[in-house]
Amino acid sequence: MNIILASGSPRRRKLLTNAKLELNIMSVDIDETPDDNESPKEYIQRMIAAKADAAIVQLKTDYQNKVFESSQSATSVIILTADTIGVLPDGHTVLVKPADRAHAYHMWQQMSDSTHQVWTAVQATLVSFTDKGKELYDRSLKAVWQKQIIESTDVTFVPLTQDMMRDYWDSGEPTDKAGGYAIQGLAAAWVTRINGSYTNVVGLPLAQTLALIEEATKAYENNHKQI
């Protein structure tokens, strides 16, 4: 079964490859600006659905020959998309990737000496090819099954000083991380405790994602029997 991880995150890729999954990687580019009055749940659900839609379009055009170069007879593929955010205790303030130093400091000050949540939404989309000709480029694509999951983990920070925030920003680590920190990196020293999935804070709830892939695989088997 072909699996495409539609994410440029090296952390998500490492988690899945460590679980002995063979993946094809596809980076997709979408507008990640939150809509006005959009809840955190609505936001991440919209993000992973939009990423899946973009991946399907890209699969048909730029990537399909590369992805299936070793298996031109493939009839289906699982597309995995994910999005991770931090959420403050108010339940609606979203912590995303920092735009700059000032943005990072603002988020960290809100997380200092308190507990926030890290949410990751994951979507598995089973896409099947419909034959129109002998070549792959003559096939159309159809999403025949999809499911979303959301995992939440509580993370408690120590009180953060200006020196701690300055040194961490200068390390370069925060720039592409939701909430501006990496629990698996230097920011581990900021975390006093977590309640929930550790890998979720890294960027992908691994056990839950593997179960989702298993569901998608069973959906493929059931769909294949009906053909």
Mapped onto helix, strand or coil, the DSSP state of residue 110 is helix
* Residue 37, number of CB atoms within 10 A of its CB: 7
- Enumerate the β-bridge partners of residue 43: none
- Enumerate the β-bridge partners of residue 81: 123
Going by the DSSP 8-state scheme, the letter that residue 99 receives in this structure is S
Annotated active-site residue 138? The verdict is no
> Of 181, 184, 177, 173, which is closest to residue 206 (Cα–Cα)?
184
Tokens of 60: 């048909």
Q: Of 29, 31, 35, 83, which is the active-site residue?
A: 83
Q: Which residues are known to be catalytic?
A: 83
